[in-house]
Amino acid sequence: MVIASNLKTNLTREKTISYLMDVENFLDEIKSNQDVYVFPAQSSLNPHHGKVTQGAQNAYATKNGAFTGEIGLEQLEEFDVKTILIGHSERRHILGETQEAIAQKFNFYKTQGFKIVYCVGEPLEVREEGEDVMMKYLELQYEGIDLDYENLIIAYEPVWAIGTGKTPTLEDISKIHLKLKEKSSAPLLYGGSVKVDTALDILKCDGVDGVLVGSGALKVENFCKMIQFADELKNN
Ligand SMILES: O=C(CO)COP(=O)(O)O
């Protein structure tokens, strides 16, 4: 399973280094074989080599150039980062990234051979229009995206569940994940208010190949517990 922590705009460089070391030590301690990813804030990227894969929460679709405020491939290479989140709902709905720009970014980092965690998810008003409308909305978020890319992981993160403490029912998570799996055989993560007391049940859902966790993973001990849950499921 994939257990991923999106630290968003949290933790300093020093605290991120400590977070990564704590996770590495935990993985050694329990001899976990889960695929563990941590996506730190840009300023906290570090050359990290270990069982944990460090990924970038974002980068511009360029090697380098005149793109004020952005980082590109050249800067990611400095930290040996070859994994990137693309299409996160906060970049779509808060920072205004269009599907066209997202697809361009996807194709740029695909040509660079990056592991891409591609995020999709519907806003509440779309959800409330019913399953057909919701699935059509999600399909539009696949426009321009190669769903057969061998280095692809998909994260289904309903916008209305992100940061709200709300999640779909376990039955709905299974139903939506199984429908999304009809479109791509890529590993499919659930994200959106995953907490230490809900992670195990979510990981048990059909079609769930892991979780992408925000605030519920800020405390490293909670993130480690989620890794342990995945190990327990794998061993049972
Ligand atoms: O956006 C998310 C992960 O990418 C989910 O955030 P929360 O877990 O804080 O809802």
State pLDDT tens for residues 89-99.
999 999 999 99
Mean pLDDT value of segment 60-64: 98
Cβ of 206: how many Cβ atoms within 10 Å? 12
How high is the ipTM of this complex? Answer: 0.99
Token readout for 204 is 């048990």
The alpha carbon of 4 and the centre of ligand 1 are apart by a number of angstroms equal to 10
The alpha carbon of 66 and the centre of ligand 1 are apart by a number of angstroms equal to 31
Q: How confident is the prediction for the chain on average, in pLDDT?
A: 97
pTM equals: 0.97
Place of tokens 């994994």: 83
Cβ of 162 below 6 Å from ligand 1: yes
pLDDT in tens, 173-209: 999 999 999 999 999 999 999 999 999 999 999 999 9
- Percentage of the chain with pLDDT > 70? 100
CA angle at 153 for the pair 148 and 158, rounded to the nearest 5°: 115
Mean pLDDT value of segment 13-36: 97
Residue 172 is predicted with a pLDDT of 97
157 is catalytic: yes
With a cut of 80, say whether residue 20 has pLDDT above it. yes
Cβ of 84 below 6 Å from ligand 1: no
Which residue, by CA, sits nearest to atom 2 of ligand 1? 214
- Rounded to whole angstroms, the Cα distance separating 32 from 179 reads 30
Cβ of 163 below 6 Å from ligand 1: yes
The H or E element spanning position 71 is none
Tell me if 52 sits within 8 A of 25, measured CB to CB: no
Helix, strand and coil content of the chain, in percent to the nearest 5, comes to: 40, 15, 45
pLDDT in tens, 112-165: 999 999 999 999 999 999 999 999 999 999 999 999 999 999 999 999 999 999
Residue 98 is predicted with a pLDDT of 98
Residue 61 is predicted with a pLDDT of 98
With a cut of 90, say whether residue 74 has pLDDT above it. yes
88 is catalytic: yes
The alpha carbon of 186 and the centre of ligand 1 are apart by a number of angstroms equal to 20
80 phi, psi to nearest 5 deg: 55, 30
Mean pLDDT value of segment 45-54: 96
* Contacts with 150 (C-beta within 8 Å, 6 or more apart), sequence order: none
Q: Which of 88, 90, 97, 122 is catalytic?
A: 88
With a cut of 80, say whether residue 25 has pLDDT above it. yes
- Rounded to whole angstroms, the Cα distance separating 35 from 204 reads 16
Which residue, by CA, sits nearest to atom 7 of ligand 1? 214
Domains along the chain with CATH numbers: 2-235 (3.20.20.70)
Residue 234 is predicted with a pLDDT of 82
Cβ of 213 below 6 Å from ligand 1: yes
With a cut of 90, say whether residue 235 has pLDDT above it. no
Mean pLDDT value of segment 54-78: 98
Cβ of 199 below 6 Å from ligand 1: no
